[in-house]
Amino acid sequence: MNFVVSGVVKAPDSLLHHSSEFMPHRLLILTLMLNCAPFAQSGVIIAPTSAVINRGGPGYGFIEDTHNQNGLLDGYVDGVTDFDTYIASNPLHSTAYWRQEWFANWGGGRATITYDFGSTVRVDRFALWNEEASGVRSFNLLASTDGSRFTRVLRNAIPTNNTGLYTADVFSFDVTEARYFRFRARGPEAGAGFNAAAIGEIAFRQAPEPAGVPEPALLPVFGLGLIAVAGYRRLSRTRRKCSTDAA
Ligand SMILES: [Ca+2]
Ligand SMILES: [Ca+2]
């Protein structure tokens, strides 16, 4: 028998070893371990699973190459790698275009992309690898739970005008729960080598859980621990009473 809590914490088998004797103290230890365990997915880097070009398309290349890590010289593990640690390592993106970057239609106009995580995520930072030959001059970022009503989370954000191999700019915003994120670029940067907005790569940080707040999925286990404590106390009282009666 194993407990799997939120797909993250798996109790050691030794703590849940089958036994003919009920051992409430072991359950209590398990409960405390689970409630004190760090949330393994807090602050990790995550990327959308798909994207749609709303404006400026079809452009050149594939929009999926802006969220599938193609072109990153050192990749990350989606949902596992710590965002801040990864960004601090200065992860570089290739300057090559084919199957690594996406360019909007030529003409210098705006480009709008809607990224989709497939389900609701809770994020608070956006990383943009701003393509080095054209890139984007500035952008807005909007969020939506249903894909139709969007709320702006970043306004007139200005990324680095890169040359050569390029790393990510990180933009922070209030913790936002949404499934869709719309990236609105206002054309390429000044002096662009190719007159079209371009994106190297994007990613997000999953917002860390507030300290000291147990995850909802852990609460039933916590309740089990309380029942175990109550049972252990009753058992102790019964044993003491039996000892007194026998004396
Ligand atoms: Ca390039
Ligand atoms: Ca890329």
How far is ligand 1, taken at its centre, from the CA of residue 172, in Å?
A: 25
The terminus-to-terminus CA distance of the chain in angstroms comes to 40
In the structure, ligand 2 is a single-atom ion and the residues with CB under 5 Å from it are: 65, 70-71, 100, 201
85-135 pLDDT, tens per residue? 999 999 999 999 999 999 999 997 899 999 999 999 999 999 999 999 999
Return the pLDDT at 212: 64
How far is ligand 2, taken at its centre, from the CA of residue 13, in Å?
A: 42
Most distant CA atoms of the chain, gap in Å: 97
Identify whether the C-beta of residue 198 lies closer than 8 Å to the C-beta of residue 188. Answer: yes
- Distance of alpha carbon 75 from alpha carbon 130, whole angstroms: 17
Please count the residues of the chain: 247
How far is ligand 2, taken at its centre, from the CA of residue 54, in Å?
A: 19
Long-range contacts of the stretch 88-92 (C-beta < 8 A, 24+): 90/167, 91/167, 91/168, 92/165, 92/166, 92/167
**Across residues 51-59, what is the average pLDDT?**
97
Q: Are strands 50-55 and 60-61 parallel, antiparallel or unpaired?
A: unpaired
Identify whether the C-beta of residue 198 lies closer than 8 Å to the C-beta of residue 102. Answer: yes
Return the pLDDT at 210: 74
Q: Which residue has the higher pLDDT, 214 or 168?
A: 168
17-44 pLDDT, tens per residue? 333 333 334 433 333 333 333 444 689 9
Dihedral angle sign, alpha carbons of residues 230, 233, 235, 241: negative
Return the pLDDT at 108: 77
How far is ligand 1, taken at its centre, from the CA of residue 14, in Å?
A: 53
Q: Are strands 151-157 and 139-144 parallel, antiparallel or unpaired?
A: antiparallel
- Distance of alpha carbon 231 from alpha carbon 204, whole angstroms: 46
Ligand whose nearest atom lies closest to the CA of 60: 1
163-190 pLDDT, tens per residue? 999 999 999 999 999 999 999 999 999 8
Whole-model pTM: value is 0.71
Helices 24-36 and 219-246: crossing angle in degrees, nearest 10, is 150
Q: Give the range among 156-165, 194-203, 215-224 with minimum mean pLDDT.
A: 215-224
**Across residues 213-234, what is the average pLDDT?**
48
**Domains observed in the chain:** 4-39+217-246 (no CATH), 45-206 (2.60.120.260)
pLDDT bracket for residue 217 (50, 70, 90): low
pLDDT for 201 beyond 90: yes
pLDDT bracket for residue 52 (50, 70, 90): very high
How far is ligand 1, taken at its centre, from the CA of residue 134, in Å?
A: 8
Return the pLDDT at 228: 45
- Distance of alpha carbon 51 from alpha carbon 6, whole angstroms: 27
- Distance of alpha carbon 38 from alpha carbon 209, whole angstroms: 10
133-152 pLDDT, tens per residue? 999 999 999 999 999 999 99
Identify whether the C-beta of residue 72 lies closer than 8 Å to the C-beta of residue 112. Answer: no
